[in-house]
Structure 1
Amino acid sequence: MKNSTAIAFILFIFCGLQSIAKAKPTDTLFAADLKPLGRTMINDKHNLELITSAAHFGFRFKGTECAVYVSIANAGEHNYLQYELDGVYQKKIRIEGKGSAKEPLIIKATGNGLHRVWIYKATEAHTGALIFSKIAAHDIKSLAITKLPLIEFIGNSITCGAAADDSEIPCGTGDYHDHHNAYMAYGPSVSRKLNTNFVLASVSGFGIYRTWNRDTPSIPLVYENTNFQVNSTQKWNFKTYTPRIVSIALGTNDMSKGDGTPRAAFDTAKFVATFVDFVKLVKSKYPKAQIALLSSPMMKDTSREILQRCLTNIKKQIDAAYPTDKSVATFFFEPMDPHGCSGHPSVADHQVLAKELEPFFAGLLK
């Protein structure tokens, strides 16, 4: 009897241990384990900051849900992320500025199997960073960025996907960044069609030598700064990734009529000279990249013709300065009547732009 009791007790303990093993505590993926793409940084609290539009990272997990510990720096403010689940785009999620990551965002999935999630920053750098401390789920693992050709898209609010999405907050209400949708902007959209990676380096309102209503700042002044802020001391490490193509779409804001604030007429000579210098800066960062100059779908009639002539001139000057490099490519959009907020392309309009660009970039990728 004693032996039987002992055996029964051992079996009881063994079964208990088996149950504990099956009810394994949730695994945790910390910020340093994530493998992001875009302008990002690990801050002094060892958290990951997604800084620029559409900066993103991925992970996989098992089960029906995962907990994402995400916050923003300033209380009383808000920001947005977007995410894919198992290859399907889901939605934008508003992140409130509570100043901590104690209340996680729960992402739910159907079925207890293996799921893949990609998280994107919906807004631009000037909106502030999304800060991730950890992600918790069963059997969670970070996903590496697939080794594909990379396109960097330099531009303005159009490239950001700003003012494109009024699906939840109507145009004319809320804050400017409430209508951002970087995931659906033309750059990420055409990249997904062509199976390439992408990064966005864009700032709303900025041009090549002035902004939409002021004489300064401009993209060349902030391009080397990680967060695109003027006078920032945090410089971006351009060895982080190597684009196959660098697409530059600037000019809309330089040629803008502004908001009534007095400003000089558009200066074609200054535009071309500053643009040539900027392309040389980009080529110094990415010597092997193919440079592509894009016009603006917002330009019509005479303005469109002026911008196209300027871009053609810039191409000639760069090709002459770098005779052994790949020739600069140019693409001129068809004029568009935008349907987004404040005269910007809508999400649907961005898909039209992406469709226009698809054969152009496909040709450059060959």
Structure 2
Amino acid sequence: MFVGIFLLCSFNMFAHADSTVYPAAHPLIQYTGRVDKTNPLGPVMWAPGVYIDVAFEGTYCIMKIKDEVKYGKSHNYIIVQVNDEKPYRIQLKEKENSIILASNLKEGKHKIKICKSTEAEIGWLQPIAFIAKKIIRPVKKPVRKIEFIGDSITCGMGNDESSQPCGKGEWYDQNNAWMAYGPLTARTVKAQWHLSSISGIGLMHSCCNKTTVMPPLFKKLSLSADSIDWDFTLYQ
């Protein structure tokens, strides 16, 4: 099994004769979290911990995904888990990326989970397409649903030093929502999860010179003041 990241222009190097391109909004591709599905190019996600489930037949799966690159330099991290194996953490490198999620697998049915590891303040991610021999129906979502509301601890801030030790790099380099207490708890009890969390946010007063607090942001899809409202009926 191999996980890697390459520029979109390099995709032809890894093309398979039996490849089928599935748009990211295809009904067989399953999203969990605050996701904007109104964009015709593909679903858009901001919040930490939003995850995608993809099941496929074949030996490989590739994802095309856009990164907002907020502030002109901030690149999101994602977590990739193939067939319940040890997850991999990848930082996107470009505004448009082609990621080999898995390759050289045994012929047959496989599953992949992709999780947004960084929080909304690092910008959005927009999957555009998945390439595989055949995308199939994923495992049904767990019945239980949990929403975790909070600040940096809930985001998974500072809990992964695999790329940079604490105090080095950018402030989000150690952010790993997959390993935050919420997703860990949800996976343990076999539940879906949502993370409605922002580093430094407070209920009545926030830290780090933030002028906003959680109550007005909680109802927003992207957890920011200029966002459209989140439809709470989508997760009840």
Q: TM-score range by the shorter chain?
A: 0.7 to 0.9
Distance 2:73 2:171 in 1: 16
2:89 aligns with one of 83, 86, 92: 92
Cα distance, 1:233–1:113 mapped onto 2, change above 3 Å: closer
Distance 1:142 1:51, change over 3 A: farther
Cα distance in 2 between the residues matched to 1:229 and 1:171: 26
**What one-letter code is carried by the residue in structure 2 that aligns with 1:27?**
T
Equivalent residues of 2:82, 2:102 under 8 A apart: no
Indicate the structure with greater helix content: 1
The runs of 5 or more residues in structure 2 that have no matched partner are 1-15
Q: Does 1:106 align with 2:100?
A: yes
Match of 1:27 among 1, 20, 25: 20
User: Deviations 1:157-188 (Å, cap 9, x if unpaired)?
Assistant: 00000111112211111111111110111111
Note the C-alpha offset of 1:215: 7.0
Counterpart AA for 1:196: A
Letter in 2 for 1:87: D
Residues 53 and 123 in structure 1, CA contact (< 8 A), matched pair in contact too = yes
**Partner SS, residue 232 of structure 2:** coil
CA distance in 2, matches of 1:134, 1:146: 21
Secondary structure (helix, strand or coil) at the match of 2:95 reads: coil
Matched-pair identity in %: 27
1:58–1:142: 8 Å Cα contact kept in structure 2? no
Aligned partners of 1:38 and 1:145: how far apart in 2?
15
Letter in 2 for 1:236: W
Write out aligned runs for 1:243-322 (5 A). none
Q: Identify the match of residue 63 of structure 2 among 63, 68, 72.
A: 68
**Secondary structure at the counterpart of residue 92 of structure 2:** strand
Q: 1:215 to 1:127 in 2, by over 3 A?
A: closer
Deviation, structure 1 residue 43? 5.0
1:146 and 1:24 map into 2 onto residues whose CA distance is 32
Q: CA deviation at 1:84?
A: 1.4
TM-score by length of 2: 0.85
Query: Matches of 2:192 and 2:74 in 1, distance apart?
Result: 31
Cα RMSD for the two superposed structures: 1.9
Q: 2:125 aligns with which of 118, 130, 133?
A: 130
Equivalent of residue 74 in structure 2, options 77, 81, 85: 77
Q: Unpaired runs of 5+ in structure 1?
A: 1-22, 243-366
Q: 2:158 is matched by which residue type in structure 1?
A: A
State the match for 2:12 in structure 1: none
**Distance in 2 of aligned mates of 1:50 and 1:138:** 26
**1:144 shift after superposition:** 5.8
TM-score by length of 1: 0.56
| Separation in 2, partners of 1:36, 1:95 | 20
Deviations 1:32-83 (A, max 9, x none): 1132110111353421222211101111122322111012123543111102
Q: Say yes or no: does 1:234 pair with 2:228.
A: yes
Q: Alpha-carbon deviation of 1:126?
A: 1.4
Number of positions where the alignment pairs a residue of Structure 1 with one of Structure 2: 216
Distance 1:176 1:57 in 2: 25
* Amino acid across the alignment from 1:99: K
* Aligned residue in 2 for 1:156: 151
Aligned twin of 1:212: 207
The equivalences for 1:138-217 within 5 A come to 138-143=133-138, 145-214=140-209, 216-217=211-212
Distance 1:142 1:71 in 2: 24
Q: Is the 8 A contact 1:37 1:145 kept in 2?
A: no
What residue is the counterpart of 1:341 in the other structure? none
Higher strand share: 2
Are the structure 2 counterparts of residues 185 and 219 from structure 1 closer, same or farther at C-alpha, using a change threshold of 3 Å? same
- 1:99, distance to aligned residue in structure 2 (A): 2.9
| d(CA) in 1 for partners of 2:140, 2:178 | 16
